[in-house]
Amino acid sequence: MDISTKEGKIKLAIYLGIGVGVIAIAIKVKNKLGARGKILRKLGNKKNLTDDKKGNADGKNTQIVFNPSYDAGRLKYAMDGAGTYENIIWETLEPLSKSQRESVRQYFNNYLGEGDSLMTWFEGDLSGSSLRKAKAYFK
């Protein structure tokens, strides 16, 4: 393409316009995907966003589904090995509803407890008021 002619300059402008349009669309898509990730991070990556059967690209009709594996993993990390990170235990349990905590307990007992229940792990790592506090979350 010869851009020294008027016709060449017009073609160049058209190609540049198309290129800018494609880049603008790519940025919009990236921002939309980034917004989903931001929501997950804001939720502490405790939940997965899934579209129901009527969902669409705008994220309308989006449901939030609780995934107990993340929180159960945090609890195991807080108590595994020498020492206990009590702050991680409280940060994990505090924002959860009673049913979510029960899901975390079941997941921990079935997949992470290494033959022991979550309560047994609490009893091995906590004592006194800390143990009572941890158990109270599951009453």
Q: Quote the domain boundaries for residue 113.
A: 67-136
25, 35, 43, 134: which is closest to 84 by C-alpha? 134
Structural domain total, the chain: 2
Residues 6+ apart with CB under 8 A from 137: 93, 96, 101
Task: Out of 65, 86, 108, pick the residue that ends a domain.
Answer: 65
| 1 located within any domain | no
Q: Is the pLDDT of residue 138 over 80?
A: yes
* pLDDT for res 3: 76
Q: Are residues 54 and 76 in the same domain?
A: no
User: DSSP class of residue 43?
Assistant: T
With cut-offs at 50, 70 and 90, classify the pLDDT of residue 33.
low
Report phi then psi at 31, rounded to 5.
Answer: -65, -40
Q: Are residues 83 and 129 in the same domain?
A: yes
Task: Out of 50, 65, 80, pick the residue that ends a domain.
Answer: 65
Each residue of 52-61: pLDDT tens digit?
444 445 555 5
Each residue of 88-122: pLDDT tens digit?
999 999 999 999 999 999 999 999 999 999 999 99
